[in-house]
Structure 1
Amino acid sequence: MALRPRSRASDREISRSRTTLMLRVRRIVVIVATASAFILATSPVARGMPSPTDTLRGVVRDTSGHALPGATVTVLEVGRNATTTSDGAFAIGGMSPARYTILVQRLGYAPFLRSVQLPQASALTIALVPSALRITRVTVTATRTAIDPLSSPLSSEALFGEQLRREHEVSLAHALDKLAGVRTLSTGEQVGKPIIRGLTGPRVLVLDNSLRLEDYSWSDEDGPSVDARVADRIEVIRGPASVLYGSDAVGGVINVVPEELPDARARGAFARGGAEFYLGTNNAAPVEEDNEGGPQRRLADDRVQATTSWIWGGLRMESRSQWQRHSLQEVVGESRAGLAPPIFDLLLNTYSTDLVAHHAPVGRLTGSIGVSGLYQDNKTKGQVPLVPSARTAGGALFAVEQSTVGQWTLLAGMRGDVRHVATDANGDLQRGAQTRNASAVSGDVGAVFRPVAGLAVAGNLGRAFRAPTLFELFTNGPHLGENRFEIGLPNAKPEVSLNADASVRVERGRLHGEVAVYQNRIDNFLYIQATGNTVDVVDPDGGAIVTLDEYRYIQTAHASLRGVDLAVEAEALASLTIRTRFDVVHGTNEQTRTPLPRMPAPRGDVEAELHTVPSAANRAYVGVGTELVAKQDRLGPFDTPTGAYALVHFTAGLTRELVGRPFSLDVRVLNAANTRYRDFLSRYKAFAFGQGRNIVIRLSTGL
Structure 2
Amino acid sequence: MLWALSPLYIFSQNTLTGTITDSDSGAPLEQVSIYFPQLQNGTITDENGNYTLKNLPEGNYKLVVSYLGYETYSISFEIGTGNNVFDYQMVPSAIEMDEVVLSTPFHKLERENVMKVEQKSIAELKSEGAMTLADGITRIPGVSSVSTGVGIGKPVIRGLSFNRVLVYTQGVRLENQQFGGEHGLGLNDAGISSIEVIKGPASLLYGSDALGGVLYLNPENFELAGKTSGDVNLNYFTNTLGYGTNAGFKTSGEKFKFLVRGAIASNADYETGDGTSVTNSRFKESDIKTGFAYQAAKFKTELRYNYNLSKLGIPEEIGVQNNDRDPLLPYQEIFTHILSSKNNFFFKKSSLEATFGYIFNDRKEFEEEHDHEEEGEEEEHGEGPSLHMELSTFNYNIHYNPQWGKTTTIFGIQGMSQKNENFGEEVLIPNATTNDFGVLATSHIHFTKSDFQWGLRYDVRAIKGDESGVQGEETYIAAIDRNFNSFNAAVGYRVDVTDNILARLNLASGFRAPNLAELTSNGLHSGANRVEIGNPDLKSERNFQIDLALEYGNKHVEAYINGFYNGVSDYIYLQPTGEFRDTDPIYIFQQQNATLYGGEFGFHIHPHPIDWLHLESSYDIVYGQLENDTNLPLMPANKWTNTFRVEWNKKDTQYRCYAFVTLQTFFDQNKVAVFETKTPRYNLFNVGVGGDIKIFDHKIGYKISGNNLFDKNYISHLSRLKTDGIANIGRNVAFNLSIPL
User: Structure 1 pair 696/110, CA: closer, same or farther in 2 (3 Å)?
Assistant: farther
Q: Is the 8 Å Cα contact of residues 203 and 252 (structure 1) preserved in structure 2?
A: yes
Alignment match, 1:395: 437
TM-score normalised over the length of structure 2: 0.82
- What CA distance in whole angstroms lies between the structure 2 residues aligned with 1:419 and 1:53? 45
Displacement, 1:238?
0.9
**Counterpart pick for 1:288 among 308, 322, 333:** 322
Alignment match, 2:394: 351
TM-score normalised over the length of structure 1: 0.87
1:586-625 map, 5 Å: 586-590=623-627, 592-613=628-649, 617-625=654-662
Alignment match, 1:548: 584
Alignment match, 1:27: none
- What CA distance in whole angstroms lies between the structure 2 residues aligned with 1:49 and 1:175? 41
More displaced 10-residue stretch of structure 1: 300-309 or 181-190: 181-190
Asked whether 1:571 is paired with 2:532, we answer no
More displaced 10-residue stretch of structure 1: 378-387 or 308-317: 308-317
- What CA distance in whole angstroms lies between the structure 2 residues aligned with 1:347 and 1:49? 40
SS of the residue 1:473 aligns to? helix
- What CA distance in whole angstroms lies between the structure 1 residues aligned with 2:327 and 2:730? 26
Displacement, 1:581?
0.6
**Counterpart pick for 2:142 among 178, 181, 189:** 181
- What CA distance in whole angstroms lies between the structure 2 residues aligned with 1:476 and 1:594? 26
**Counterpart pick for 1:692 among 700, 705, 730:** 730
Q: Is the 8 Å Cα contact of residues 128 and 688 (structure 2) preserved in structure 1?
A: no
Q: What is the letter of the counterpart of residue 220 of structure 2?
A: E
Asked whether 1:329 is paired with 2:393, we answer no
User: Structure 1 pair 475/82, CA: closer, same or farther in 2 (3 Å)?
Assistant: same
Displacement, 1:567?
3.1
1:62-211 map, 5 Å: 62-63=22-23, 64-119=25-80, 123-131=85-93, 133-141=95-103, 143-160=104-121, 162-167=123-128, 169=130, 171-211=132-172
Q: Is the 8 Å Cα contact of residues 376 and 392 (structure 1) preserved in structure 2?
A: yes
Alignment match, 1:501: 547
Q: Is the 8 Å Cα contact of residues 574 and 613 (structure 1) preserved in structure 2?
A: no
Alignment match, 2:20: 60
SS of the residue 2:334 aligns to? strand
Asked whether 1:221 is paired with 2:255, we answer no
User: Structure 1 pair 576/296, CA: closer, same or farther in 2 (3 Å)?
Assistant: same
Displacement, 1:304?
1.0
Q: What is the letter of the counterpart of residue 13 of structure 2?
A: T
**Counterpart pick for 1:448 among 494, 517, 521:** 494
Instruction: State the number of aligned residues.
Output: 644
**Deviation string for 1:223-255 (max 9, x for gaps)?**
223223322221111111100100111111111
SS of the residue 2:238 aligns to? strand
User: Structure 1 pair 137/293, CA: closer, same or farther in 2 (3 Å)?
Assistant: closer
**Counterpart pick for 1:672 among 709, 728, 731:** 709
- What CA distance in whole angstroms lies between the structure 1 residues aligned with 2:715 and 2:332? 25
Q: Is the 8 Å Cα contact of residues 665 and 684 (structure 2) preserved in structure 1?
A: yes
Displacement, 1:150?
2.3
Percent of residue pairs identical: 26
Q: Is the 8 Å Cα contact of residues 17 and 83 (structure 2) preserved in structure 1?
A: no
- What CA distance in whole angstroms lies between the structure 2 residues aligned with 1:160 and 1:218? 27
Q: Is the 8 Å Cα contact of residues 459 and 503 (structure 1) preserved in structure 2?
A: yes
Give 5+ residue unaligned stretches, structure 1. 1-36, 537-546
- What CA distance in whole angstroms lies between the structure 2 residues aligned with 1:72 and 1:534? 61
Q: Is the 8 Å Cα contact of residues 95 and 555 (structure 2) preserved in structure 1?
A: no
- What CA distance in whole angstroms lies between the structure 1 residues aligned with 2:505 and 2:385? 50
SS of the residue 1:150 aligns to? coil
User: Structure 1 pair 163/109, CA: closer, same or farther in 2 (3 Å)?
Assistant: farther
Displacement, 1:684?
1.9
**Deviation string for 1:519-552 (max 9, x for gaps)?**
010101000011111111xxxxxxxxxx111111
User: Structure 1 pair 186/59, CA: closer, same or farther in 2 (3 Å)?
Assistant: farther
Q: Is the 8 Å Cα contact of residues 163 and 179 (structure 2) preserved in structure 1?
A: yes
Q: Is the 8 Å Cα contact of residues 564 and 585 (structure 1) preserved in structure 2?
A: yes
More displaced 10-residue stretch of structure 1: 59-68 or 378-387: 59-68
**Counterpart pick for 2:421 among 379, 392, 407:** 379
Give 5+ residue unaligned stretches, structure 2. 240-270, 278-320, 371-379
User: Structure 1 pair 219/128, CA: closer, same or farther in 2 (3 Å)?
Assistant: farther
Alignment match, 2:234: 277
**Deviation string for 1:490-520 (max 9, x for gaps)?**
1111100100111102332122342111001
More displaced 10-residue stretch of structure 1: 273-282 or 598-607: 273-282
**Deviation string for 1:641-665 (max 9, x for gaps)?**
1111122111111213556643211
Asked whether 1:438 is paired with 2:472, we answer no
User: Structure 1 pair 478/49, CA: closer, same or farther in 2 (3 Å)?
Assistant: closer
User: Structure 1 pair 598/360, CA: closer, same or farther in 2 (3 Å)?
Assistant: same
Asked whether 1:234 is paired with 2:195, we answer yes
- What CA distance in whole angstroms lies between the structure 2 residues aligned with 1:323 and 1:60? 42
User: Structure 1 pair 133/651, CA: closer, same or farther in 2 (3 Å)?
Assistant: farther
Q: Is the 8 Å Cα contact of residues 562 and 601 (structure 2) preserved in structure 1?
A: yes
Q: Is the 8 Å Cα contact of residues 164 and 233 (structure 1) preserved in structure 2?
A: no
User: Structure 1 pair 397/173, CA: closer, same or farther in 2 (3 Å)?
Assistant: same
User: Structure 1 pair 113/237, CA: closer, same or farther in 2 (3 Å)?
Assistant: same
Q: What is the letter of the counterpart of residue 245 of structure 1?
A: Y
